[in-house]
Structure 1
């Protein structure tokens, strides 16, 4: 199921994400040589509707027709979903939720990618994504360690630390090398493409990733404390439909803003049951800590900062409503 190549197929760099199926049979790992042998691993299109990573990498490779400054291992993920502009096809798992565990051929494919890269001793790992709502460009890490912070802040001073879900690419690669996920805003924005291209280019130029502590003033670090999903059986909307939970039309404007307790997230009917479920990093239900129903509104119970809020209802149903974050103060030993 995994195609492995050691060169760029003819015509690949002239191909958009939606047409990659014309050149590649499916998920493809391409190993390219460079002056420094330990490869930078870059994954793109784990979600087929998030094409910024592919646009950035093909632009970068077009600039480096000769030798790369460092070896590059490029994983092009969900080619089939990219053809249709979907996060994943209806009969597929989410390609960024299967890097741990088993049960599907896709789980085995991701294990093969990890094992191939383990043998190549990767220098660092970058997973490039988009999101649907209004969010700043930011980096995510799964380890509180200086090399991870230095790699992340090469992309953005805004860094989010999370450990759930634990089935993502960056967490699997964190066992091999410094690994980050970068969120580059919404698809189709050249600013995101250019930001991702410059980041990958800068990472390829690094001789090493610093091991020393990062200065506190160089990074705004947040910690994901809860994942918020829509409760089972609850209908949702954003456009005035008659549903159980009517989200604010501009709900994505709340992303990365520190909300005061009592902030309205959406509207509910009389006698409604709690329409969302919040789970912390250990999987415990913490809904009552963060949300309350009052005056036919769903409101926050404590000050909190959300990310990934969107009115794209397909994403909300398929993934989650949002993540809740708090500022994280590093201890000296963690810096």
Structure 2
């Protein structure tokens, strides 16, 4: 069976101002392109792993416009991911796996998409990338932040170029940055909601800065220059429960501004939802080892779903499709950086 990956050395002239929904026809499918620059070792950038997260694409288009008639400071290897979902403005199509859960190390079953990500990874490993950047949006209210999967000074240095707010995680498996963290400094940058010019500009300037780096310093970033949080659990809503936001008929009636809790340190006893005839804890939470730990973080009291201990959410979302396809959000704790 043939690969679904398109491998090219140039992009069509019209790529620079193509709309996300036009890319499937323009490129023919997921595409890996290598654009030669002054420094040989490439910066690897992935965009549109989720078809409705368009900030990365717009930032790359602006970057290529910026260098339209001059040499890139460093070779750029660009992977343009789920163009079929982008045509419909969706994270992924029904029947597709999540493009950011099938990279090497994934626990997902074998699919053409999983084989494609292995192919991309193998090609890039041979090219010895200088660094890897995966650009994303999120649906809740979050600051712009960067994720790392190894607490290594070079990785922290790279991430801190984007934001002082850093998140360290090792699950879910199969994400792009986790795979590439085995080969080079790798980061996922979360650029806020889709359609915000500030996110597009932030991603553009970060990518341009990465292209100009000669090396990533192997010295510690000062503690006071970054806030590092460790993702300790992924929170999901079991399919057996209905839920809504301000929906009094739902089993779980989440507070309407749930996403405003992101990156806020919540005390124990903070109310997250009102419950209707719910007799068992209506959330699931898995830790980094995959253990079920919801009872550690949540409790039911007088018909309310509350926090059982101080915690900090991230990426809590009001998007019901994202909650069903992926998760409600994540829980974090502060994480001290190693001094040396």
The separation in 1 between residues aligned to 2:204 and 2:61, in whole angstroms, is 9
Question: Match of 1:108, SS?
Answer: helix
Trace 1:112-261 onto structure 2 (pairs within 5 A): 112-261=119-268
The worse-fitting range, judged by mean Cα deviation, of 17-26 and 302-311 is 17-26
Number of aligned residues: 333
CA contact (8 A) 1:266 1:298 kept: yes
Partner deviation per Cα, 1:192-227 (whole Å, 9 max, x = no partner): 000000000000000011111111111100000111
Q: Does 1:64 align with 2:67?
A: yes
What residue in structure 2 maps to residue 22 of structure 1? 25
Q: 1:301 deviation in Å?
A: 0.3
Distance in 2 (alpha carbons) for counterparts of 1:9 and 1:112: 23
Q: Does 1:281 align with 2:278?
A: no
The whole-number CA distance in structure 2 between the counterparts of 1:237 and 1:151 is 38
Residues of 2 paired with 1:294 and 1:314: CA distance? 28
Q: Over residues 264-319 of structure 1, what are the superposed CA-to-partner deviations in whole Å (9 max), with x where a residue is unaligned?
A: 11111234321101111011111111000011111000000000111111111111
1:232 positional shift: 3.4
Q: Give the one of 324, 329, 334 matched to 2:336.
A: 329
1:78 paired to 2:82: yes
CA RMSD of aligned residues (A): 1.0
| In 2: Cα distance, 1:199 partner to 1:330 partner | 23
Q: Pick from 113, 117, 120 the counterpart of residue 110 of structure 1.
A: 117
In the other structure, the counterpart of 1:92 is: 96
Q: State the distance in 1 between where 2:168 and 2:151 align.
A: 8
**C-alpha contact 1:276 1:287 (8 A) present in aligned 2:** yes
